[in-house]
Amino acid sequence: MKRVVVTGVGAVTPIGIGKEEFWKNIKSGVCGIDTISRFDASAFDCQIAAEVKDFDPAVFMDKKEAKRMDLFVQYAVASAKMAVEDANLNIEQENPERMGCIIGSGIGGIHTTCEQHARLLEKGPGKVSPFMIPMMISNMAVGQVSILFHCKGVNMTCVSACASGTDAIGQAFLAVQRGDADVILAGGTEATIEELSLAGFSSMKALSTRNATPKDACSPFDKERDGFVMGEGSGILVLEEMEHAKARGAHIIAEVVGYGSTNDAYHMTAPAPDGEGGARCMAKAVENAGINPSDIDYINAHGTSTPYNDKYETAAIKAVFGDHAYKLAVSSTKSMTGHMLGAAGAVEGIITALAIEEGFLPPTINYKNPDPECDLDYVANQGRDAEITYALSNSLGFGGHNASIILKKYMD
């Protein structure tokens, strides 16, 4: 089997655009959640979200092309460009048939869907844009990124709700490991902070309603947690066959060594009791990596700040890791970024890779009230330095989807 390494990352997030700004703010515990500014949310139970600020698509792409892309695609293109630049990857020197692209998105182009539906009702079918379909379909992030970088090899879209981004990285890892590609641009993207999405999640009673204190609203593993906060953005990683990366003198951030994927087969939205499906997923990832559970030093948890998710994910970690669960560090960076849905696992994969490279445990901010059922080391409120050899990142999605990836400190 080929070894697979991460050689570049790019991110568009509510707490920064680009690796440097984003990672600096993760380390500092900066929160990107605030009152929604994109539309008037005063009639909604939830009026807060983690919006991407100061994103100018013209910085990353032609203005005319940008107008033919939904926001979720723009985010993916921008992240991919930054990842390729970070990897110092010369596209002209790569064999396009050995380059792939796998990007997840849970919902796709909902901005375009809502905008064009309104136009249909107001002006009639003749006024619906001919670009509507290629703008709103979920695979168009992969489509546009592949066109931009001539990725003619392995190519797919993962749609597994909030596990989409992690599944995309996992599938890319397996493809490079098998020898199907030399390089794959992998990750996730989402842009769902829109009235219909907010109304739908609000009707489910899934969202936090701490509208008066948005910076404190997302409090994973805290006893007073009351729901997740919608986020948006994109994360793309350059996954590369190790010898290919070494041959071109690439800087290697971390190594990908394991992937697990399971389903609860239990409920449309609720996790299986005690996190049974998530536990099996983590165990599969550990087995796939060929390591022992006690080798894991850090877990970037799904940690949504919902009552059931945090309780059951904690139970799942205990089931897999036993006594070692109390020795490893666990944090939820959604406390800062909000829940980026299909992009969450990709952005958290980037965080996990950078945490390993730098030897730093990102914090879970807003942790104030310990919950007896959530009693692990959640790196409360302030990050800290630590040697990390192996780290695991979890994503759990509606429909019972579970995905886990394991990254390792790179050693030749």
**Which residue from 220, 152, 191, 248 is spatially nearest to 51, judged by alpha carbons?**
191
Q: Cα 403 to chain center, whole Å?
A: 11
Alpha carbon distance 145, 137 (integer Å): 14
User: Which residue among 111, 244, 302, 401 is the active-site one?
Assistant: 302
Q: In the predicted model, what is the mean pLDDT of the chain?
A: 97
- Beta carbons within 10 angstroms of residue 147's beta carbon: 12
Q: Which contacts of 197-206 are long-range, i.e. CB under 8 A and separated by 24 or more positions?
A: 197/107, 197/110, 197/230, 198/36, 198/41, 198/44, 198/46, 198/49, 198/230, 199/44, 201/46, 201/230, 202/44, 202/45, 202/46, 204/269, 206/269, 206/306
pLDDT in tens, 295-325: 999 999 999 999 999 999 999 999 999 999 9
Question: Which pair of tokens denotes residue 351?
Answer: 């965080």
pLDDT in tens, 84-107: 999 999 999 999 999 999 999 999
Domains of the chain listed by start with CATH number: 4-247 (3.40.47.10), 259-408 (3.40.47.10)
Question: Which pair of tokens denotes residue 358?
Answer: 């730098």
Alpha carbon distance 177, 100 (integer Å): 13
pLDDT in tens, 371-380: 999 999 999 9
Question: Reduced to 3 states, what is the DSSP secondary structure of residue 318?
Answer: helix
User: Which residue among 46, 244, 281, 339 is the active-site one?
Assistant: 339
Close Cβ partners of 410 (under 8 Å, ≥ 6 residues apart): 5, 252, 253, 254, 255
pLDDT in tens, 110-119: 999 999 999 9
**Which residue from 328, 327, 332, 364 is spatially nearest to 345, judged by alpha carbons?**
332
- CB-neighbour burial class of residue 64 (10 A; exposed 0-12, middle 13-18, buried 19+): exposed
User: Which residue among 162, 218, 281, 374 is the active-site one?
Assistant: 162
162 is catalytic: yes
Alpha carbon distance 44, 326 (integer Å): 40
